[in-house]
Structure 1
Amino acid sequence: MSNGKQIGYTRVSSISQNTERQLADIHLDKTFEDKISAKDTNRKGLNECLEYLREDDVLHVHSIDRLARNLHDLQKIVSDLIDRGISVHFHKENLIFNGSESAMSKLMLQMMGAFAEFERNLIHERQKEGIAIAKQNGKQLGRKAALNKEQITEVKYMLNAGFSKSMVATKFGVSRQTIYNVM
């Protein structure tokens, strides 16, 4: 066991998700957390964690995809930590990187990182396909429209009748910009 601290890093993709189960059974001196997608490495919790870590510390991460979602970022983070004398332990994959790993464990890191990147790309493709299908089926995407079709017809009628845009906006409880957008 090293003389350094046991540091945890947890991440979920959204605020509504919970990180508690990720490193629940491990005694950690300090934990850093992000509730944001891992599509890039500019994450507050990760940046604070990387800054906090010192030589002989061990960084505990639930799984490779919690640390990075593409192979380039994963390899950079892990190699930078190893160069600083910091070990990295991925619990789900049961991989430990401390500078003395075998060619097989390096290959595993690359493969797992490539799978994480592949999975992220698949999710993105499915999301785009789902949006395209929803648009094709006439589904409302994004925020609900401020005015329905009948209200838009009435707004246009009132504007043509000479009512001011402010008065029309007040009547429908919307901003003047919404009225301008209808015109």
Structure 2
Amino acid sequence: MERAGPGNRRRRRAVAGHLLRSTASVVLLTALYYRAPLDRGVGVGTAVLLVLGLVLFGCLTAWQIAAITHAEYPRLKAIEALATALPLFLVLFSMAYFLLAHNRPSSFSEPLSRTDALYFTVTVFATVGFGDLVPTTGTSRVLTTVQMLADLIVVGVIAKVLFGAVRLGLRRRGKTDDRL
């Protein structure tokens, strides 16, 4: 049994801090999604905002990858990075779906509330596609296809890069064990 020495207390504080920041990120991004003024029309400006949001997502992910490689606890930092980046990614597409459904009601098989748009985004991300909400116009199908392609990039490439950053961070710290 491990003693509760200064190193263990420090690790417990680090775990608590990372979990608190991760939870705060998810709560804040979700609250911002539900509070954002999404009453504007859909057009080129919406597409530009989505692209800018995805660029922000990419920049945030790149910054977090660098932070992971220099973190005291790279695995915890990677979890925190995912808890920030993934909700941002999902919220960006949810906002786009909500705006599209709000301004062009025929875009989906039924009207979308913010919760419905988030639900649709997560089902597309998880590739489960329950079939209760489906895109019905060319624009909504293109947007859904863009999300599917971006999902593959997020799941495949970014996850691999995050795991690589964790390994590099552990090597830099001279750690070879499986703790934090």
Q: TM-score, normalised by structure 1?
A: 0.31
- Bigger Cα Rg: 1
The structure in which a higher percent of residues are strand is: 1
The structure in which a higher percent of residues are helix is: 2
Relative contact order higher in (CA < 8 Å, ≥ 6 apart): 2
Q: TM-score, normalised by structure 2?
A: 0.32
